[in-house]
Structures are given as structure tokens and as C-alpha cells.
Structure 1
């Protein structure tokens, strides 16, 4: 089932464009490139993540006739064209079937179910949450149990083995649960729990995997397979804090051999909080990443089971290399400037 996406894209219309050279105001993937850690996957239903991106952001399918429509941006580097979705879906319901990769690597995410990536899940409803960014109406990807997205990026630039990588996502602290696992990041290509270090993904939710947590979350943690890590061990990290904000920035970076860092912030204002910056947990050195990308579920979902988590995805990217703190800060500053409301 690994080659389903090409057919899905042809059925839905033109394939998303590649990322052109950056324009005057750098967006997240422009900042990552300037820092020497280019995006290898970039996804969003709300806006472009490159300042001159003109391609499609996502695909919707309507129930009335099963027709597909790609939703692009209003202008280069701009917000999504929600009016195109509203017009196409008028009088019926739509679901989001594909999130296009803006990086040019072709790492498009499709829902984990029949007709998508294969598996047992179904696509998320397309209009569960409307919001604004850059002053324009857009829609989120609102994931509930039985919704999730996946792609095998092992041959299309996603870091593997002990190669360093970083990632971020903008999510919500008001639409969470403790089900396993609302993740975005690197996962197994066989969709099985293949051992410690086979995953390297951001987790956001209220799951206290190892016990001993302080408070009720939701927390930014690292899903490294065989556990959701709040810091460098299974013990509770006292620097952890909850992010119940409406919009939340979550970041993870991992050099693959000795060190990883977790950061979080209100996505509407303020700077990043470093929750952990130190040694990898015992047994995770070196990492053994496989290069698939998962969104909305854990790594051993959903070829033969269904997703149990819920969460909201607005935007996110994965990069090759270990981003600097300055790059992290530039990305957060741009997210705040985008004006999620």
C-alpha cells in the first residue's frame, strides 16, 4: 500500500508545487533553510510555510459525489483559500484526505484508511474548526479518535537511523485526550512498534505514560517508541509544564546519538520554554529512526487497529539536521506574527 499517494493526487488534481526561493518575510521553512537545517516535510491546512509557496495545502473530498478538490493559498506565502473549500463543500460534508508536503520532497500525508494510506481509520471532517490566520478565514485539521495520517518518507528525505532532525507543530491545548497518541513526526515504515528509538515524534496530550506526572497537562513530550518521554528518563521531568492555551507551539529536536530537546509556548504570544535539553534516555543511543511520517496517531497504528487520540493540527514541519536555538526562536516569532485567532 506504499504507492497509493500518486494515484490519489492524480485523482484530486494537480500535485502541490515545490517550494521556491524565499521572499522578503521569512516563514518557518525559510528560517530553517537559513539556519542550515532545511525542511524535508512541511504540512499545514492554514497557510504556506515558505514565503513564496504557491502550491496546494490539502485535499478535500465531498460526500455528495466523492469528488476531490485541492485547496491552495490566497497568494504566494499566504493563508489557505478557505472560500474554495466552502464553495466546493456547500450543501454537503467534506473530509480532508491529503495534506500536501510544501518542501518539494513529496512527503504528502494521506489518511490511514481504505482509499488512503491503507488501514482502519477514516479521514477527518474538513470544517470542524474555522479560525483566522494572517487575518483570513482558514480551517484546522481537527483529529478525533479514528482519524490519522501517514506517509512512508524513508526514500524521500526524512532522516533515518541516527541522523539528526528537528520538528515543530502548532496544535491546541483545548482539544486533547490521553489516548495513544497524538503525534507528529518520524515513525515506523511497517506501522509496528519496532523497538526503542524507532520513533522520533512530538507528542501532545494528557497521557502520563510512566506515571508520577505533576498536574493534568496537556504536555509536550517525545514519543521515541516504547514510551512518551517528558525528559531524559521515565522519571517525571520537573521542568515540564502544561500548555492549556488555545494555540500551542510544540518543538522537538534530536541529534540522534546523545542529545534531544523539547520546547513549548503559547503560539499567540511569548517566547519558547525549554522543557528539556540534555541526554537521550538510556537505550535510545543511537536512535533507529525509519523515516515514515505520522500525524495524529502512534507508530503502531493504524494498519490493523484504530487511533485513540484526539488533537488539532494547524501546521508543522520536519527538518534535516539539529536546528539552532536561534532558528527555533525565529520560527516561534513567525508563528506569533501569523496571528492565530
Structure 2
């Protein structure tokens, strides 16, 4: 093969690779593998290649709202729409739309058994819409910066796992924004905002709360919030296989099967692959599960709202996704090009 032909062949393969990466979002990958998304939330980008609907809604102090959509189908958020709408005033993120067909949108969380939020009516605060700017392949977008007292919820979610049914979930988070409060979660929770007992939740937790479980070092850790406990593995307290995280952008994965099996995985959302931090039996007293199917972001299942963190994107699926499909999703996240500057 001549050098010219070799160059042409290499370029063709590279172009094909770029097209494939651009046209397969995380939920396309899950769907193709037989684990369809039942919730897909992101303020930074579309999570399906064909999705062109709204990603989130912002609300000005005067009460007016506008939706923020991708620049194009399958693309990154059109942050300029937000910048223009919020110029000269302040904005909050009032709705995080579900991109899946289920319509499981997230809105301001109501009070729960852990107490009322600081907003009128005991609801939680909404996130400042401009507090978490980042870049995806050079395009400015905004994340959801959760301060203590901020929270989102959907207590009437459709299609999410209930009882002992299997499910998977991942989230991309800011690995440097956390605290030891309870609880910065994304995932499955109680439908009445009340702590109804062990096993009634299955959510991603990120932070360095050490009241329940811990991993290596001083944290932060990716753990599972299974209600009445944050778990870093099978043991109720310390599990040495769950490392402290030191990435600016973190991919966090929690999944649970209908058998006595669950797993914690994670990695750098800006480069590299996922690692498995735990895979094995559930903690004592957490099988069979009693999941209720609500969706929370930034709070615990009982509306504990003392935590902080920043959320960029995340999904929930049916079934117990294979490591192989999660590895493809991680490659898609890396290709999205999360960065702190252009």
C-alpha cells in the first residue's frame, strides 16, 4: 500500500470513528444493549443522538421562564440562550427535563421526613443556573450546582425499578465539589419523601460523609445510598476496595440485580476507562430490595438536604447493564470532552 493510500485509509477510519461517536449517545448505547433508559437528565448535552427537545428550564427572578435546548439534535446545550435570557438578572434551574420517552422530569423537591426545605412551603431551593459553567469540546454549558438546601425530585416517576427489580444508573459529577452532609444523591428513592426503611432506595452517592460507610482514605467516595446507610461495599462500614476520588470530572455507576448482586464502578469522566470498586452480595438486610421508584437529585430519600455537589448528566435504566455497555458509555462521556476551559 502506498503512503498516499495508507493516509487516505487512516483518515477514512478516523472519520468513521468520529461519526460513530457523534451519533451514539449514552441512551442509544444502553437501548441497543437491551437496557433502555427510563430517565435521562442533563443540562449539558443531549443523551440520545436524535434528541432535540428541551434539556432544562431556567426561571428569572420575575418568574418568567425559557427552555434550553441542544444546539442541534444530539448536541450540547445552547448556553447562549440562557446567557441572553438571564442577562442583567439572576436565574435558577426550575426543571431538568427527562429526555427518555417516560417524561420523568425533575422539579423542586418537596419537604420530607427529614424536614422542610428553605423555600416557601417547605420546598427545597433551586440551583443557581449560572453557578457551574464548564465546557464540552470547547462549547460553554452549565451544570447543576447543588448547595445545601437545594434539591430536585419526581415522586411519580414512570418505568423506574420497584421492589427487587434490576436497574442501572450513572452520573457525571464534579469531583471537587462535595461535603460530608447527607446526602448528595442521584437515583431511586421513596415516593412519599419519607424514610420507609432499609432497601427502599438505590441511588448514587458522592461525598465524604463517614457516618455510615467509607472507602479508602478520607474521600470523597462513590457509594450506594440504599436507605438507612451509605455503602461502599458489602460491609456496613469500611470497604477497602472503594477508593477516594481525585478527578475533576467523575463518572459514577451504581447497579443492582434482582439476585443478591450489586456493584459500584467509577472513573475519570475526562479520560480513561471505568474501574469496578465493588461487585458482589448486598449488605446484610438489603435483599430482597424494596425500591419505590421515585427519582432524586442532590438530596436523600427523606429530603435530607445538607449535602452539596454538582451534577452534569445522568441516566437510569431497566435491567442490570453489563460492564461492556457501561464501558461504551464511559467512552462516550470521555468523547464529550468535559473541561474547565475552552
User: When the two structures are superposed, what TM-score results if normalisation uses the length of structure 1?
Assistant: 0.88
Q: 1:173 aligns with which of 175, 179, 203?
A: 175
Q: 2:194 aligns with which of 186, 192, 195?
A: 192
Name the SS for the 2:228 alignment partner: coil
Q: 1:24 to 1:71 in 2, by over 3 A?
A: closer
Flag structure 1 segments of 5+ consecutive residues without an equivalent: 1-21
Displacement of 1:147 in angstroms is 0.6
Name the SS for the 1:125 alignment partner: coil
Distance 1:290 1:202 in 2: 15
Displacement of 1:121 in angstroms is 1.1
2:3 aligns with none
Displacement of 1:173 in angstroms is 1.2
Residue-pair matches, total = 313
Q: Tell me, yes or no, if the aligned pair for 1:110 and 1:117 is still in contact at 8 Å.
A: no
Name the SS for the 1:327 alignment partner: helix
2:123 aligns with 120
Higher helix share: 2
Q: CA RMSD in A?
A: 1.8
Displacement of 1:174 in angstroms is 0.7
Are 2:95 and 1:92 equivalent residues in the alignment?
Answer: no
Higher alpha-carbon Rg? 2
1:315 aligns with 313
Q: Tell me, yes or no, if the aligned pair for 1:59 and 1:70 is still in contact at 8 Å.
A: yes
Q: Tell me, yes or no, if the aligned pair for 1:257 and 1:287 is still in contact at 8 Å.
A: no
1:334 aligns with 332
2:154 aligns with 151
Q: 1:279 aligns with which of 233, 256, 281?
A: 281
Distance 1:308 1:61 in 2: 24
Distance 1:324 1:117 in 2: 43
Deviations 1:54-105 (A, max 9, x none): 0000000001x21011110100000001000000000000000110000010
Distance 1:221 1:312 in 2: 16
Distance 1:90 1:212 in 2: 43
Q: 1:90 to 1:294 in 2, by over 3 A?
A: same
Q: 2:292 aligns with which of 285, 290, 293?
A: 290
1:17 aligns with none
Q: 1:28 to 1:119 in 2, by over 3 A?
A: farther
